[in-house]
Amino acid sequence: MGTQGQHLAIASLDQVDPKDIWQKDKDHFVHPWTHFDSFKKDGSLVMGRAEGAYVYDLSGKRYLDGIGGLWCVNIGYGRREIAEAISAQALRMAFYNPFVDTTNVPAAELAAKLASLAPGDLNKVFFTCGGSTANDTAVRIAHYYHAKRGKKSKKQIISRIDAYHGSTYLTGSITGRPADRSPYLHFVDDLVHHVSSPNFYRAHEVLPNGVGKGMTEEQFCDYLIEELEAKILEVGPDNIAVFFAEPVMGAGGVIVPPKGYHKRSLEVCHRHDILYVSDEVVTAFGRLGHFFASEAVFGIVPDMIVTAKGLTSGYQPLGAVIFSDRVYEAMSAEDPDGWFTNGYTYSGHPVACAAGLANIALMEREDLNGHVQKMGPYLEQQLNTLLELPIVGNVRGHKFMMCVENVMDKTTREHFPDAVNIGKRISDHCEKLGLIVRPLGALNVISPPLTLSKEEVDELVSLLRQGIEATMADLK
């Protein structure tokens, strides 16, 4: 018998006993990415409310949210018009199934809007529940597309080390972050092949036998492209369906690839009839200053764009695969057996799509992309001042997607030993100071709401500096 909930609907935080909630969470909520030992010891920090770029825990302590929820609260918290759009749609029609041939107004409107914002002939939209299910669906679209054209053997998937593409059974395998390879889980390694991470700062480590040492960025890019083509030839172009790439890798360490990398990868894929999926779960909806980064920042029109997160700014769960007319036409060519048997109860959920439409309308009205184009370089410039600190080895990223990499030795780029847990120590200090920055191994990620003012950027960088300095003092 579980704990009885006394307040099944939370009308006000005044009804909430912080200790009771903390205990219920600890006893019953199994979190994504639980580290059991530390969770059993410490439990969770319970957040209660949020406004603008700030979140407040149940004690009322305020934090500047340097990670925008989880790279997603692009328009900031407490935006009344999104809440009103959600409420109005929930009252008008909370749900109706999207299967086969029924639909709803917000889903149709949002699909058309996404088609108008996406580059090239990316005019078809498949809605999902989030980014993982969208990447999973992208694989099924690729398989269906090739099989329908009589190329049934094209099933294999190419991804990259350090990539993050989700946490379903399959996308957990497409993901290439070494840290996610729990020895207690199984991975679909007979379907997925990983090529090197495009991490130029760590080129000496990411390429085999240290061949990356001393390479120029151009040589590094040449190597990666040659490696991709060699992998394709090894697996056999007739066996490969799809290549996955985030425009800027997020959870793998905010890795901006070398110049020309995406264009050249796409050319290689197309030469071998392999579909190119641009995973824009993080990079879309303004984070890099545009609705989509693939074409606007990297000059490519992929075959599919996968997105989620900023699509609703996290106000509702929603993901989407936006794919090309060319792929759709092949998939939908006349065929009595032509059922695309893929989909979710909540594909095109009317309340989530209403949130998406309101979110895009707000971004357009406030010109948030323009704001990021102006404020992004200032954030980058201010974060770069942290390079004065002895342990900050690299500040990288683009616009509102940034990270700081901490090292033992700036010249050799030597890592801190894992036991130091440097990123977590810094983020713990920052948390005490009232700033949330996400630790990722030796990195701290900064992906704040896109609404940040100049003063808020200054506050963020100043608190991060204090957090790093406090950590350095501990290490003495």
Interface residues toward ligand PLP, by CB under 6 A: 130-132, 135, 164-166, 246, 250-251, 279, 281-282, 308, 319
- 283 with 323: CB under 8 angstroms? no
Of 67 and 362, nearer to ligand PLP (C-beta) is 67
Least distance from ligand PLP to the Cβ atom of residue 448, Å: 16
Least distance from ligand PLP to the Cβ atom of residue 250, Å: 4
The residues facing 157 across adjacent strands are 192, 242
Name which of 24, 53, 58, 27 is nearest 40 in CA terms.
27
- 257 with 198: CB under 8 angstroms? yes
Of 196 and 471, nearer to ligand PLP (C-beta) is 196
Least distance from ligand PLP to the Cβ atom of residue 247, Å: 9
Of 132 and 369, nearer to ligand PLP (C-beta) is 132
Of 85 and 251, nearer to ligand PLP (C-beta) is 251
Least distance from ligand PLP to the Cβ atom of residue 436, Å: 16
- 352 with 95: CB under 8 angstroms? no
Spatial distance between the Cα atoms of 249 and 245, rounded to a whole number of angstroms: 8
Of 32 and 208, nearer to ligand PLP (C-beta) is 32
Helix (H, G, I), strand (E, B) or coil at 465: helix
Least distance from ligand PLP to the Cβ atom of residue 450, Å: 16
Which residues are CB-contacts of 340 (< 8 A; sequence separation ≥ 6)?
A: 140, 141, 144, 331
Least distance from ligand PLP to the Cβ atom of residue 351, Å: 17
Kindly provide the residue ranges of all beta strands, DSSP E only, lying in 280-400, ordered along the sequence: 304-307, 319-324, 392-398
Give backbone dihedrals phi and psi of 207, rounded to 5 degrees, phi first. Answer: -90, 145
Spatial distance between the Cα atoms of 141 and 136, rounded to a whole number of angstroms: 9
Of 82 and 407, nearer to ligand PLP (C-beta) is 82
Name which of 395, 359, 370, 54 is nearest 201 in CA terms.
395
Least distance from ligand PLP to the Cβ atom of residue 279, Å: 5
Of 197 and 382, nearer to ligand PLP (C-beta) is 197
Least distance from ligand PLP to the Cβ atom of residue 308, Å: 4
Of 144 and 164, nearer to ligand PLP (C-beta) is 164
Long-range contacts of 372-378 (CB under 8 A, 24+ apart): 372/286, 372/287, 372/288, 372/289, 372/399, 372/400, 372/450, 373/289, 373/399, 375/400, 375/452, 375/453, 375/454, 375/457, 376/288, 376/289, 376/400, 378/454, 378/457
Least distance from ligand PLP to the Cβ atom of residue 32, Å: 8
Of 172 and 212, nearer to ligand PLP (C-beta) is 172
Spatial distance between the Cα atoms of 423 and 95, rounded to a whole number of angstroms: 42
Q: For the chain, how big is the Rg over CA atoms in Å?
A: 23
Spatial distance between the Cα atoms of 373 and 288, rounded to a whole number of angstroms: 8
Cβ-proximal residue to ligand PLP, closest one: 131
